[in-house]
Amino acid sequence: MIRGVLFDMDGVLADSEDYICRAAITMFSETGIQAAPEDFKPFVGTGETCYIGGVAKKYGLEADIEKIKARTYEIYCEIIKGNLKALPGAVEFVKEVLRRGLKAAVATSADEVKMYANLREIGMPASIFHATVNGLEVEKRKPSPDIYLKACEKTGLRPEDCLVVEDAVSGIRAAKAAGCRCLALETSFDKSLLYEADWICKDLSEVPEQALNW
C-alpha cells in the first residue's frame, strides 16, 4: 500500500536542465572550452559531479571538480533568479500527496546548494517535505538505488510502500533497484526510453489515478 512519494527534482519539480546546461557552458568557456548542449545529455540525472565531470573528461580538462562545480553553481544561482519555474502540475500534485496524508520527500542527485536554490525559486521550500536527500549524502549516485533507500530511511518507510517520480532513465533504474514503484514523466526523455517505469505520463498535471492508489 502506498505510503509515500519520493520526488526527483530536476525535470520533475523544476525545469532546470536548460539553466544548469547554460551555467556549465559558461563555466567551461572561462577555461577556453566551447562545450555544446549535446555534450551533457548522457549525464542528465546523474548529479553535477558526473554532469560536469563527464564533459570535462571528454575535453581533456584536468581540473578540481569541486572548484569548477562551485563556479558553475555561482553562475546557475544567478541566472535562475526570477526565471526558474515549477513544471506543470508540480505544485498541485505535491499538495495532493500531502492532502492524502502521504509522506513526501525530495531525493535529488544534485548537490545541496542547487537543491535548496531550486526549491526556493519554485515556491516549494524544503520545509514542506518530510525529508530531503541530496547527492552529497550518498556515496553512489543514480542509477544506484542509494539515494532512494536513503529517502526511505529518512521518512521511515519501506521501499515497497513508496512511489518514486522520475524523468531520467538512470533515475527509473535507481527507483526500481531500490524496490520502489515508479512514475516516469516525459519531460526530459522520449517515452520509448522510459519503459522500465510502472506508469508514464506527460507531466505531473496528468498523473494516472492508479499511480496513487495501490
Q: List the CATH number of the domain containing 116.
A: 3.40.50.1000
Structure confidence by residue, pLDDT tens digits, 122-136: 999 999 999 999 999
Residue pair 129/32 in contact (Cβ under 8 Å)? The answer is no
Residue pair 130/123 in contact (Cβ under 8 Å)? The answer is no
Whether residue 198 is found in the same domain as residue 103: yes
Tell me how many degrees the CA angle 193-21-207 measures, rounded to the nearest 5. 40
Whether residue 21 is found in the same domain as residue 10: no
Whether residue 67 is found in the same domain as residue 124: no
Structure confidence by residue, pLDDT tens digits, 56-114: 999 999 999 999 999 999 999 999 999 999 999 999 999 999 999 999 999 998 889 99
Looking at the 3D structure of the chain, how many domains does it have? 2
Q: Known catalytic residues?
A: 8, 10
pLDDT for position 114: 93
Q: Provide the residue range defining the domain that includes 62.
A: 17-79
Whether residue 23 is found in the same domain as residue 73: yes
Residue pair 45/205 in contact (Cβ under 8 Å)? The answer is no
